[in-house]
Amino acid sequence: MKPQTNKFHESIVLVGGGGGVFRIASSLKHIRPNITTIQTVFDNGGHSARLRLDRGVLPPGDIRQAILALSDDSGHPLLRKLLAFRFSKKNGSSLDDATVGNIMLTALTEITGSLPVAIDTMCHMFRVTGRVLPVSLDDAQLTVTLSDGTVIEGEGQIDTRSVADSRTIVSASLKPRAHIYCRAYEAIASADKIIFCPGDFWTSLVPNLLVESFRDALKETKAKSIFVTNIMTKKSETDRYTTATFAQKLCEYTGLNSIHAMVSNDGTIPSEILARYESEQARPVIFAKTSLVKQFIRGDLVDLVDGVIRHHNKVASIIAEL
């Protein structure tokens, strides 16, 4: 039996990509110091895709966001702004939509010859609390099969399907296969809590679960599994998903028989905000019980940021106390 761990010192692993990990990590670092983020590296959209194609590096965007999330808030504010700064479009410049942090990470990778060393160096530069790890060091593309049998390759193409497209995603894979990064495996195997973060389910969370030996790490761990579900559905990925659907899909791709806890929203969203999301056929995730989840935690988790629905920072406190 795994020895009891003091909650303050417990090892918490966040799995996902994009804004979901960023949102949780940004708040959780203030109450729990031992955080590891494990990020997808299979994006092929935006400027990350151009760096991937032109420089032969793994897409750095999600890694950069995690470094920003866990960086020291008391550091020079301009350094944090620099890490997040994205160039606006101007006269067809090669810097259009480029993010400075992505360029920095790419440069450090070329200087050191190693993505892990580049990440560790950048974490040291920005005084990161915890660790930031890629899920894999292998170059692969996310591929999904739709309900009519159509196969789409590439995270960017999957993520940007039209709202008029009524086909659903039925399965996902990586081509070629990718193996889990050894430090990511060790982090999962030794964790006290593993948090499956919200975000684009099929393009940010599932790609992590597809790497070879991710399931083996989960079989080895004694960690509590906690799933923070999305507040809203997304037409191209999770249309009409309920909390039960999310749980079923997560168990399918992790091999878990059950999830220790699911955190979901039951707060009210202003009608004018819902109307805006309705234009994209995005709707609140409906709560539905399932035997796959041992404990349900529901609360008002909505935080509106410039009219965009995000998870409230209270989610971090819920995770810490579970």
At 212-241, the pLDDT tens digits run 999 999 999 999 999 999 999 999 999 999
In a domain, 125, yes or no: yes
Is residue 93 domain-resident? yes
Angle at 209 between CA 206 and CA 213, to 5 degrees: 165
Total count of residues recorded for the chain: 322
Is residue 307 included in any domain, yes or no?
yes
Q: What is the dihedral of CA 239, 311, 275, 89, to 10 degrees?
A: -90
CATH number at residue 146: 3.40.50.10680
Could you give the number of structural domains in the chain? 1
User: Is residue 156 domain-resident?
Assistant: yes
Question: Measuring CA to CA, how many Å separate 85 from each of 49, 61, 212, 239?
Answer: 17, 12, 34, 32
Residue 265's SS3 state is: strand
pTM score: 0.95
Q: Compute CA distances 44 → 53, 103, 153, whole Å.
A: 9, 16, 10
Cα distance between residue 96 and residue 75, in whole Å: 27
* 25 domain residue, yes or no: yes
Does the residue 1 lie in any domain? no
Give residue 305's domain range.
7-321
Does residue 191 form part of some domain? yes
Instruction: Point out the residues of the chain with pLDDT beneath 50.
Output: 1
